[in-house]
Chains A and B, each alone.
Chain A
Amino acid sequence: SAVISQKPSRDICQRGTSLTIQCQVDSQVTMMFWYRQQPGQSLTLIATANQGSEATYESGFVIDKFPISRPNLTFSTLTVSNMSPEDSSIYLCSAPGTISSYNEQFFGPGTRLTVL
């Protein structure tokens, strides 16, 4: 399994500002994933972060709004830019249990974001 930590655990931000969320995995992995969970909803994939290449975004999510960095095999950041109240959600990162796998995925505790 993989142990995943996220910072911050929660934040309250003002409209128009940006927040960067950090995700740390306890072992090296090729792929990391970022999800959003809106209030009372299930999880939706935002993007896949591969080390050494640009992140790939799902339909409805764009790099200008959710820039992602992946500087090494254990760390990634997601920035939520120019925030509005509609961005209030839980943001979660996930990673597989081994570097050679990508299907058995483990999640971090999430970052609870409230935008005023």
Chain B
Amino acid sequence: QKEVEQDPGPLSVPEGAIVSLNCTYSNSAFQYFMWYRQYSRKGPELLMYTYSSGNKEDGRFTAQVDKSSKYISLFIRDSQPSDSATYLCAMSSWGKLQFGAGTQVVVTP
């Protein structure tokens, strides 16, 4: 069993819809939780970073962490075609990141 599970998609949504992404994990030692966006042929870009259970908002992005269920989510409101990318969840234990498989998101005009 992988330590971090993420559905690879692809996930196709119409422009303006809410994109919902999630990951589950098995290692209770993970302390910090991140979401990265990666465009084709680019390095991952940090979108959200949190360490406690609950919600964190930043513009159109909301990150949700439920440590009791070992489940994290990312919501993108009012999605745009420019949001089309691969979204990677990552979990940190003493600085070492464990990544999910990445979910390919396609936002269609």
* Chain A residues near B (Cβ < 8 Å): 1, 4, 31, 33, 35, 41-45, 48, 58, 92, 94, 96, 102-110, 112
List of B residues within 8 angstroms of A35 by Cβ: 97
A102 to B98 Cα, complex, angstroms: 14
A35 to B102 Cα, complex, angstroms: 15
Q: Can you offer 20 A-B residue contacts whose CB atoms are under 8 A?
A: A33-B97, A42-B100, A43-B88, A43-B99, A44-B99, A45-B98, A58-B96, A92-B44, A96-B95, A102-B94, A103-B51, A104-B32, A104-B46, A104-B49, A105-B34, A105-B92, A107-B36, A107-B43, A109-B42, A112-B41
Asked if A31 and B95 sit within 8 Å, CB to CB, the answer is yes
B101 at the interface (CB under 8 A from A): yes
Question: Which residue of B36, B41, B44, B96 is within 8 Å of A45 (Cβ)?
Answer: B96
* Chain B interface, number of residues (Cβ within 8 angstroms): 24
State the main secondary structure of chain B at its contact with A.
strand
* Chain B residues near A (Cβ < 8 Å): 31-32, 34, 36, 41-46, 49, 51, 88, 90, 92, 94-102
